[in-house]
Amino acid sequence: MRIEETLRRLRDQTGDTFLLAVVRAGFGLLLLNEAWLATQQYSDAGYFGAHFHQPFLPEGLVPSAGVYQAVLAAQWGAAVLVLAGRGARPALLVAAGLLVYTMLCDRLWFHHYRHTMAAFSTLLAFAPCDRHFVLGRAANDTAGPLWARNAIKAQVSVMYLASAGSKLFDPEWRGGLMMLGMVKGLSQLMLRNHLPASLVAAMQTPLGGSLLAKGAIGTELTLAFALWWPKTRKLAIWVGLVFHLVISQITPVRLFTIEMLLVYLMFATPDTGARVVRYDPGRHSFATVIESLDWLRRFRLAPSAGAAFVVVDRDGEERRGLGALASVVGALPALFVAWPFVATLAAVASRRRR
Amino acid sequence: MLDLGARGRALFCVLFFGSEAVLVATAGMRSDRSYGFRMFPEASTIVVHVSRRLDGGRLVPIEGGRWQAHDCSGGVHSFRWGEMVRYPAPAQLDVPVGAPYGVESEVHRTRDALEWVAAHTPDDCETRALVARIEPRKNGRVLEPIDAEAAHAH
């Protein structure tokens, strides 16, 4: 059966683990931020058990003030270990467990980004995410099992499907009433984030609300599947990037956006240095810019005096001019937002040459 | 321990995603729809007005979120709602407060907050019960007010 074959392939896949380490380091920073937020709340408002809280757990399992301080210390410790790469994988499980425990001790602590942070951290703990960026240890370039990376990708799809599904089956959401109310409530924030006033006004009309709602539902449903299919993956990553960036501009949601952009890295093919940039160091000094922006190690630079600037893609195809530029822009995170426009220009230019 | 073999990977995924499926399917049973990935469920607000029911059934509104009452020895104490009930619970009375997880969640929080305050103000020997009138607005539509009452613990 094809499904069984696919599941076996996803279970048994091995490959480069560099991107897993990048994601691990990113989650280390997010977990440090969580520990800082919790500590700040403790110092501002005091121990949460001393004022109204809403535990899921029986009150007897809610930590006392002293035990809660130990929980905070453990959150800091786990986050530091995750970032440092030492004992990172068990630390990811501990961090996830503490996040869930604190949310169960007080439902007021629940946020979707904390839930997803706990889920992703748990999955990451089962991935070989500690072979690069480890304090005091050289990188280990050997291939590792990537099944947990595939589970993280599946988690992303589950989230999009659940989120879109709940909106699709809610008539007020689907019809745009909720979006209308949300935009009205957040209009000042949007203006502070430099969205044009005319756009903010247009979003506050019934038509604007309806279009936003259907757009959001359609985007989430599409991303749940399009991120997996090789032919649509790159465009889906771009659409998802823009989708989450737009959400972060029109709502106070930031941490969830950062989380999603990190896990999107899991959809990039795990093959460092699979693309080659051939260039003449005397004429193509901009190649150093590619090197400095190649945070995900997508390229191997091959300088050669007198060489034409050529990007050899992972499929072996040589690209020049706009095609080469599109290849570069499509693989460097800092430039990726421009990729569809450059790729379109390259396609038009290629068609004209023929 | 974290490097699972083929069978372990399959078992882990079944347990992990099985739990996720249960959480998503049962999210509707929780007032805040938590753990179901229901992002931005509503654009709703509530206004909470709280009064103290005294001896004889007389209702005295709590104004500005503060009230004073005698303890059982006759000493006077000041109480502040916002000190006992903090954001994101409805910490402010008589003004619209956001309900980011929906009206049902915020009403649930208000009822529980009422019970908590009633149980944690032992120096208020005058109040027999705390009574709340909750005025919800769901996605811009005004809904019927909801009344809640919590007997005082003393």
Q: Tell me the pLDDT of chain A averaged across its residues.
A: 94
Q: How many residues make up chain B in this entry?
A: 154
Q: Give kind and range of the element (H or E) at residue A17.
A: none
Mean per-residue pLDDT for A225-239?
Answer: 96
Note the pTM of the prediction, 2 decimals: 0.93
pLDDT tens per residue across span A343-353: 999 999 988 87
| Strand stretches in A191-298, DSSP E | 275-279
Sign for the CA dihedral angle at A201, A202, A206, A211 comes to negative
- In angstroms, the CA A263 to CA A237 distance is 11
Per-residue confidence band for A220, with pLDDT thresholds at 50, 70 and 90:
very high
B8 touches A: beta carbon within 8 Å = no
B137: left (phi over 0), alpha (psi -120 to 50) or beta: beta
Nearest-CA distance B51 → chain A (Å): 18
A287 pLDDT above the threshold of 70:
yes
Q: How many CB pairs under 8 A join A and B?
A: 105
Q: For A239-260, what is the mean pLDDT?
A: 92
Note every long-range contact of A240-246, with CB atoms under 8 Å and residues 24 or more positions apart, other chains counting: A240/A264, A241/A336, A241/A337, A242/A337, A243/A219
Instruction: Tell me the mean pLDDT in the region B36-49.
Output: 94
Rounded to an integer, the average pLDDT of A210-223 is 95
Exposure string for B74-106, b = 16+ CB within 10 A, e = fewer: eeeeebebbebbbebbbbebeeebebbbbbbbb
At A190, is the pLDDT very low, low, confident or very high (cuts 50, 70, 90)?
confident
The least confident of A73-77, A349-353, B102-106 is: A349-353
H or E element, residue A145: strand A144-145
pLDDT of residue A256: 94
Q: Is the pLDDT of residue A201 over 80?
A: yes
State the pLDDT confidence band at A192, using cuts at 50, 70 and 90. Answer: confident
Mean of pLDDT values over B30-48:
94
- Interface check for A122 against chain B (CB to CB < 8 A): the answer is yes
Show the 3-state SS of chain B.
CCCCCHHHHHHHHHHHHHHHHHHHHCHHHCCCCCCCCCCCCCCEEEEEEEEEECHHHCEEECECCEEEEECCCCCEEEEEHHHHCCCCCCCCCCCEEEECCCHHHHHHHHHHHHHHHHHCCCCCCCCCEEEEEEEEEECCEECCCEEEEEECCC
Mean pLDDT calculated for residue range B74-85: 96
Q: Give SS3 for A323.
A: helix
- Model confidence at A77: pLDDT above 90: yes
Question: Nearest CB to A11: which of B10, B40, B89?
Answer: B10
- Structure ipTM: 0.93
Is residue A183 within 8 Å of A254, Cβ to Cβ?
no
In chain B, residues with a C-beta closer than 8 Å to the C-beta of A125 are 2
In this predicted model, what pLDDT tens digit does every residue of B8-22 receive, in sequence order? 999 999 999 999 999
Mean pLDDT, range A55-59, rounded to an integer? 95
pLDDT for residue A151 is more than 90:
yes
For A16, the token pair is 């480069």
- pLDDT above 70: residue A250: yes
- Whether A222 has a pLDDT exceeding 70, the answer reads yes
Mean pLDDT of chain B: 95
CB contact at 8 A, A265 and A292: no
From the candidates B86, B105, B117, which should be mutated to test the interface with A, based on the most A CB atoms within 10 A? B86
Of the partner residues B2, B32, B109, the one whose CB lies closest to the CB of residue A89: B2
pLDDT over 90 (residue B122): yes
Residues A232-250 have a mean pLDDT of 94
- Extract the tokens encoding B137: 């607005």
For an interface test with B, give the residue of A107, A217, A223, A243 to mutate (most B CBs within 10 A).
A107
Q: What are A306-335's pLDDT values in tens digits?
A: 989 999 998 899 999 999 999 999 999 999
State the average pLDDT over residues B112-121: 96
B24 → closest Cβ in A52, A123, A162: A162
pLDDT of residue A74: 98
Pick the closest to residue B108 from B89, B133, B86 (CA basis). B89
Most confidently modeled of A228-242, A248-262, A274-288? Answer: A228-242
In this model, does residue B154 exceed pLDDT 70? no
